[in-house]
């Protein structure tokens, strides 16, 4: 398979050129209603197309949440395919937020669905769950390397329930979240300018100085905006790794729709604020 330039290199360039911002595409029913759209495939398509048209030519990353498309069945998945293709054509990198995780041939099939270059849903990166064991992700890691794609592994998530698994302490004294970070650092060893295997680490978690976040890869950071974190929090939470953070904003941008100009302006404001916070002049 002839792959793309590695995801990490493409992401580093996009973040440097466009600013380190990821905008979520989360067409849940309440947000469709706020936009004056019906909770149906037509509303889904209008919502998604509007977001892509507004910001895909200016933000580094767009992150569609697969579940909000899948709930409409095959017609919803067709809208997702269209959104991914149009976003990538406009220059945004697409992280598919599907949080897939399984073992063996099933994990391989999930990987082929999103990471094979000829797949209708091919995305630049995929969120994955490692909680059947990090080794269960091997098929996705291998295909991502082959195709030039990336992964974002759930490591230290912002939901309160995550702690019961991610903070559990192993026999070696290291907790599960830290173990996932260590696996990713090994995957990214020696990669320049940035590895392609990232972690999901919530921006709402406060001081993470007890964790080694220097995984030589990106840190996808949900929680900016509606969940309470602000761009100003990023240096405190992520410390020296802040330059590799990809802050995700969903409702903070999407609530400005369906006006395209308002969506664009909101994304620009967040991108500029994050840029100045992460790399002040």
- Would 55 be classed as within a structural domain? yes
Considering the domain boundaries, does residue 38 fall inside one? Answer: yes
> Mean pLDDT per 10-residue run, the chain (281 residues)?
85 96 97 98 98 98 98 98 98 98 98 98 98 98 98 96 96 97 98 98 94 98 85 94 96 97 97 86 48
CB atoms within 10 A of CB 114: 28
Burial (CB count within 10 angstroms: exposed 0-12, middle 13-18, buried 19+), residue 148? buried
Domain count along the chain: 1
CATH number, domain containing residue 100 = 3.20.20.70
- Is 71 inside any structural domain? yes
Asked if residue 2 belongs to a domain, the reply is no
CA dist 193 and 126 (Å) reads 20
Task: Determine the structural domain holding residue 188 and report its residue range.
Answer: 7-278
Q: How high is the pLDDT of residue 2? A: 53
- What is the H or E stretch that residue 62 is in? strand 61-64
Q: Looking at residue 227, what is its pLDDT?
A: 75
Residue 50 domain flag: yes
Which H or E element spans position 222?
Answer: strand 219-224
Residue 100 domain-assigned? yes
Given this model, what pLDDT does residue 97 score?
Answer: 98
- Which of the residues 28, 49, 99, 255 is marked catalytic? 99
209, part of any domain = yes
In a domain, 1, yes or no: no
What pLDDT shows up at residue 279?
73
Question: Which two three-digit tokens encode residue 196?
Answer: 């392609």
- What pLDDT is stored for residue 228 in this prediction? 81
Asked about 63 being catalytic, the answer comes back as no
pLDDT value of position 280? 62
């Amino acid at each position: 398979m002839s792959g793309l330039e590695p995801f990490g290199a493409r992401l580093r360039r996009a973040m440097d050129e466009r600013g380190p911002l990821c905008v979520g595409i989360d067409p849940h029913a309440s947000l469709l209603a706020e936009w004056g759209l019906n909770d149906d495939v037509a509303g889904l398509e209008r919502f998604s197309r509007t977001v892509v048209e507004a910001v895909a030519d200016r933000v580094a990353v767009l992150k569609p949440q697969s579940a909000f498309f899948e709930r409409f069945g095959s017609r919803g998945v067709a809208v997702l395919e269209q959104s991914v293709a149009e976003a990538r054509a406009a220059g945004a990198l697409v992280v598919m937020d599907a949080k897939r995780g399984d073992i063996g041939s099933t994990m391989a099939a999930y990987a082929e669905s999103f990471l094979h270059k000829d797949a209708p849903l091919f995305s630049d990166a995929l969120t994955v769950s490692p909680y059947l064991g990090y080794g269960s992700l091997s098929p996705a890691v291998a295909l991502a390397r082959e195709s030039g794609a990336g992964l974002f592994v759930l490591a230290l998530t912002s939901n309160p329930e995550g702690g019961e698994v991610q903070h559990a302490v192993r026999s070696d004294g290291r907790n599960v979240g830290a173990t996932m970070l260590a696996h990713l650092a090994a995957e990214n060893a020696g990669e320049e300018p940035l590895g392609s295997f990232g972690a999901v680490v919530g921006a709402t978690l406060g001081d993470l100085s007890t964790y080694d976040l220097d995984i030589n890869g990106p840190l996808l950071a949900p929680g900016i905006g509606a969940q309470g974190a602000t761009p100003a929090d990023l240096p405190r939470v992520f410390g020296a790794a802040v330059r590799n953070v990809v802050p995700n904003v969903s409702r903070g941008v999407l609530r400005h729709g369906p006006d395209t100009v308002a969506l664009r302006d909101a994304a620009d404001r967040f991108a500029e604020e994050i840029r100045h916070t992460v790399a002040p002049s």
